[in-house]
Amino acid sequence: MRIFRGLLEASIRAKLIAIGVVTAAGFIGLVAIGWVSGSTSVEAVQGGRAMNVEIRNIEEMRIAGLEMVLAAMDTIIDRDEGVMLPERAETVAAALKTIREGTRSASHIANMVNRPELMETFSADLEEVAEAIQVQLPELIKNNASQAEFAAIDDAIDGGGERILDNLQRLAELGIEHVRMKLGSAETAAENSKIYQSTAAIVFLVLVCGMMALVTRGIIRSLAGLRDDMKAVADGDLSREIKGAERSDEIGLMAQSVLVLQQAAVDKERMEREAEENRDLTDKERAEREAAKAAEAATLNEAIEALAGGLQQLSAGDLTARIDKPFTESLDRLRVDFNESVEKLSETLSEVKVNIDTIHSNAGEMRSAVEQLSSRTEQQAASLEETSASLEEITATVNSSSERADEATRKAAEAKSASDSSARVVSDAVEAMGRIENASGEIAKIIGVIDEIAFQTNLLALNAGVEAARAGEAGKGFAVVAQEVRELAQRSATAAKEIKALIDKSTDEVEGGVGLVKATGEALTKIAEQVTDINDHIASIAKAAREQATGLAEINSAVGQMDKVTQQNAAMVEETTAVTHRLAGDADSLTALVGRFAVPSSGGLRSERSAPALAVVGENDGERAPSKSPAKSVMNKVKQAFGGNAAVKQDNWEDF
């Protein structure tokens, strides 16, 4: 209230300067709020875009790590080939290159989400897995190492790969959550900025319109009251109270001049009463007094006519009017006050003209600033559109990763099925070897029986030879037969021994083969278990990829919402531009209004100008016509108060 009271008591010049200062401060505040909001949104979008690129690098690292571990597992399964296949070696090398190149992105994401411990052992685990796959595994295959050594290196590769993939998956999830949080904060800031801009614009317009209405209403009421007071004094109402004489502005000076004129009229009436009272005096005294009164009346009439002429020029808008001819000593103060009031009013209107030009210039600068803000808002919208496109690409990459993980799951299932089939084949081979071993034992028993029969046959042939020798010539033929039977028995025994030796050797080989087949079966069983674990890990990776795809879709939706808010901000900037144009139009109206007054050449005003700003607003806003300016409505009321319509304008100024 103290501020408004001070504004009412201030001069017209001070009032107009205060309105100009409030207008400039309001527009500067609106531009500052828009600029801060745009900077915050652009910073959030750029940070989200950079983190999205790094998250995509982490996804590529995870896929590369999965391909590297699968290539190593396939090499272990196919170790009987005696060498790591070139395409698998190339896959491992490419995967290691991708992971090493993306380590910086992973470290940056870990620091951004305050989880640097996820990268503490990353490099060591990666080098350990690389050493195991590229150096140790080919050496074991080359040296035809044992099953235990292959199992140990398989555990090392599986464990290191699992730690690497788990850390990368966790980093990707934390990174996506961080991006979502930053975009949410930016969206909230944009919404708050929109509210702040709307509130500030409404408060600013209400304040400016209120100040202009208050000032204009005060000036119009004061001039109307002063006109009524002057008319009443001219009609002879000398008891009327002259309002506004206590004011310190130009209206107060004019009211003081009217008060002096009223006092002069009162003195004239008093002198007329005294003249009536002195009618009984002598003719000489009466004549002298009448002559003095006539001279005083002539002097007073001359002063009144001079003041009436000056006021008539002033009512016509001519502020160059001056009363140069001095009055009598008692009335000359009235002439001086009139001239000083008109001079101050002329200076005030000249300064008002300068302030209007300043407001017009500031409105142009504000219009330029708002247009730049509009351009930056459009750039921000384009950045959001590019970010949305990048998020769609990342979403496609994550979906591709999920599909590849599903494909890897199917491949692992096929490998497990093949491993189970191999285990069944090995089990059948073990059973066949057992049957061969049992058959070899039975054959050995039969050979033993044959050897014993040959020994007994040899013994019987020897006895038969002895008996034939005893028989003499009669037993010679029998002796020859006994000798042949003996030799046949010896050859049978020798052949049986050789067959037994071969069977024993075959039995030993069969036992060795049985042991190898059993070891192979155990290795295949362990590989099947590891393939099952890998299948579980791949399924987890596929699930995480699908969840990340869902998260990226939510982020994409948030970016779309930010784009919508940015478009709303752009619309508000256009509305602010329209308000700026309307302010320029109001300044032109004030210039035209002040231009109706003629002032000395030192503070002269330019002629009335057109208001092209309204046409510009119409062009920029398309079909949407600008709303009626409250300030312009006030100016129209001022013009009506001063001039009225075309038919009665001159009469109103004559009355004034």
Cross-strand bridge partners of residue 318: 598
Question: In the chain, which residues have pLDDT < 70?
Answer: 1-16, 19, 26-27, 30-31, 34, 37-46, 211-224, 226, 233, 237-238, 243-252, 275, 277-286, 416, 419, 423, 455, 458-476, 478-479, 482-483, 486, 596-597, 599-656
Q: Which residues of 287-320 are buried (b: 16+ CB within 10 A; e: fewer)?
A: eebeeebeebeeebeebbebbeebbebbbbbebe
pLDDT number for residue 206: 75
Residue 596 Cα distances to 214, 350, 360, 547, 636, angstroms: 22, 12, 18, 74, 14
Looking up tokens 């007073």 gives 300
CA distances from 180 to 36, 48, 114, 542 (A): 21, 8, 16, 21
In three-state secondary structure terms, 325 is: coil
Place of tokens 């982490």: 58
Question: Whose structure tokens read 């000036």?
Answer: 219
**Vertex 211 angle, CA 194 and 218, to 5°:** 165
Q: What is the pLDDT of residue 414?
A: 74
CA distance 195 to 429: 81
Which amino acid makes up residue 457? T
Instruction: Report the pLDDT value the prediction gives residue 88, as an integer from 0 to 100.
Output: 86
Q: Are 172 and 108 in contact (CB under 8 A)?
A: no
Farthest CA pair distance, the chain: 233
Return all residues near 638 (Cβ < 8 A) that are at least 6 apart: 216, 219, 220, 593
Report DSSP letters for 171-195, one per residue.
HHHHHHHHHHHHHHHHHHHHHHHHH
For residue 497, the model assigns a pLDDT of 77
The number of beta carbons lying within 10 Å of the beta carbon of residue 401 is 24
> If you search the block for the tokens 């779309």, which residue do you land on?
560
Report, in angstroms and rounded to the nearest whole number, the Rg of the chain calculated over CA atoms: 58
Complete domains list, the chain, with CATH: 434-512 (1.10.287.950)
Of the CA atoms within 13 Å of residue 184, those in its CB half-sphere come to: 8
How many CB atoms sit inside 10 A of residue 195's CB? 10
Q: At which residue do the structure tokens 């400016």 appear?
A: 208
DSSP per-residue codes, 478-493:
HHHHHHHHHHHHHHHH
Tokens 């996506």 belong to 176
Distance spanning both ends of the chain, measured CA to CA: 32
DSSP helix/strand/coil, 318: strand
- pLDDT tens-place string over residues 382-393: 777 777 777 777
Whether residue 553 contacts residue 598, with contact meaning beta carbons closer than 8 Å, is answered with no
C-alpha distance from residue 46 to each of 51, 182, 295, 656 (Å) = 9, 11, 91, 66
- Name the burial class of residue 280, with classes exposed (0-12), middle (13-18) and buried (19+) by CB atoms within 10 angstroms of its CB: exposed
The pLDDT of residue 636: 44
Q: How far apart are CA 219 and CA 427, in angstroms?
A: 113
Q: What is the pLDDT of residue 278?
A: 65
CA 222, 224, 227: angle at the middle one, nearest 5?
A: 110
The structure tokens 């044992």 sit at 146
**Under 8 Å CB-to-CB from 426, ≥6 apart: which residues?**
517, 518, 520, 521, 524
d(CA 348, CA 342): 10
pLDDT, position 250: 66
Give phi and psi for 115, each to the nearest 5. -130, 60
